[in-house]
Amino acid sequence: MSQKEKKASTRTEEEKRQHEEERLVERLEKIRHKIMVMSGKGGVGKSTVAVNLAAILAKDGHYVGLLDADIHGPNVPKMFGVDWRPLRGGDDGIQPVEILPNLKLISMAFLLPNPDSPVVWRGPIKHTAIRQFLGDVKWGDLDFLIIDLPPGTGDEPLSVAHLIKGVDGSIIVTTPQDVALLDSRKTVNFSRMLKVPVIGIVENMSGLRCPKCGHLIPLFKMGGGEKASKDLKVPFLGRIPIDPEVVQKSDSGTPYVVSYPDSEATKAFENIAKRCKEHVESHGGGEKG
């Protein structure tokens, strides 16, 4: 390659990067509120909270995007009853999958050759994928983008916070027992390090209501999330009880809150959605869409 050709190709690379940057900024400007769902420990119910929260907000008439940022374990599509959908798109971007009225989803699962394919990627490639999920996906005007993250303080939350910059806040999901709480304290501090305000802590799997006598059995203890929120001086968003139907519904691909609109757990999800909305709306702008 001649010197002149080299210069021209560097310039086009540079122009490409600049174009991508501008597109990312443009896409993000159209999204009013961005919320990260995090936890220190795996399996505490982040994806369940993200899915049901998104379903409630969409049902309330908001335009909602759900970004499954769990690159290695993308199971949000399954919770909506889809393993895989072909992604459509052109030069102007990728079309997210409309999963419910007003609710669009993007997930690594849609890019895998089959649902059992592992993703063996290191940080920089994951960063590129998340960048594309934010900048190349045609989210359009959204009121809320809910970002479901893998557990811990690793690459994915770092990438999201770095790329979005103005994330409205994080919802930290925990279970009530001491070991989970230790991790959730770390997550609160991590969120603060990322300069992402903590919207609050959700205590999931908080007691099991006996179907016979109605007594609440503290299977994994109770009240720990509330105590952590007091200790760490962050809001407590609420407790979600254990309900075997949560598992059933997420396995069969319908959000729990859609199937059981009057249950105790749905009331808890709704209350959490209301408190999140109040938090983000009182900290910035009105509605879009």
Ligand X SMILES: Nc1ncnc2c1ncn2[C@@H]1O[C@H](COP(=O)(O)OP(=O)(O)OP(=O)(O)O)[C@@H](O)[C@H]1O
Q: Is 184 in the site for Mg ion (CB under 5 A)?
A: no
**Are the C-beta atoms of 76 and 66 separated by less than 8 Å?**
yes
Q: Which does 250 bind (CB under 5 to 8 A by kind): Mg ion, ligand X, none?
A: ligand X
Judged on CB neighbours under 10 Å (0-12, 13-18, 19+), 26 is: exposed
103 binds, among Mg ion, ligand X, none (CB under 5 to 8 A by kind): none
DSSP, res 87: P
* 174 near ligand X (CB under 6 A): no
Query: CA of 95: how far to CAs of 21, 44, 68, 113, 254, in Å?
Result: 19, 30, 15, 18, 22
Element (H, E) at 217: strand 216-217
| Stretch near ligand X under the rule CB under 6 A, chosen from 13-21, 111-119, 131-139, 236-244 | 236-244
Q: Which two tokens stand for residue 100?
A: 């419910």
The nearer residue to Mg ion, 135 or 184, going by C-beta atoms, is 184
Residues 18-57 that bind Mg ion (CB under 5 A): 46-47
242 binds ligand X (CB under 6 A): yes
Please pick, from the candidates 27, 32, 34, 46, the single residue that binds ligand X as defined by CB under 6 A.
46
147 makes contact, choosing from Mg ion, ligand X, none, with CB < 5 to 8 Å by partner type, with: none
Nearer to ligand X, 70 or 270 (CB): 70
Pick 25 or 210: Cβ nearer ligand X: 210
Q: How far apart are CA 246 and CA 266, in angstroms?
A: 10
CA–CA separation, 120 vs 116, rounded Å?
Answer: 12
Structure tokens at 226: 């509330």
Both structure tokens of 42: 């795996």
Closest listed residue to residue 80, CA positions, set 249, 242, 247: 249
Coil, helix or strand at residue 168: coil
Among 65, 96, 135, 150, binds ligand X (CB under 6 A): 150
252 to 271, contacts with ligand X by CB under 6 A? 265
Nearer to ligand X, 48 or 102 (CB): 48
Q: Which of residues 73-112 bind ligand X (CB under 6 A)?
A: 73
Residues near Mg ion (CB under 5 A) are 46-47
**Site residues for ligand X per CB under 6 A:** 39, 42-48, 70, 73, 150-151, 204-205, 240, 242-243, 246-247, 250, 265
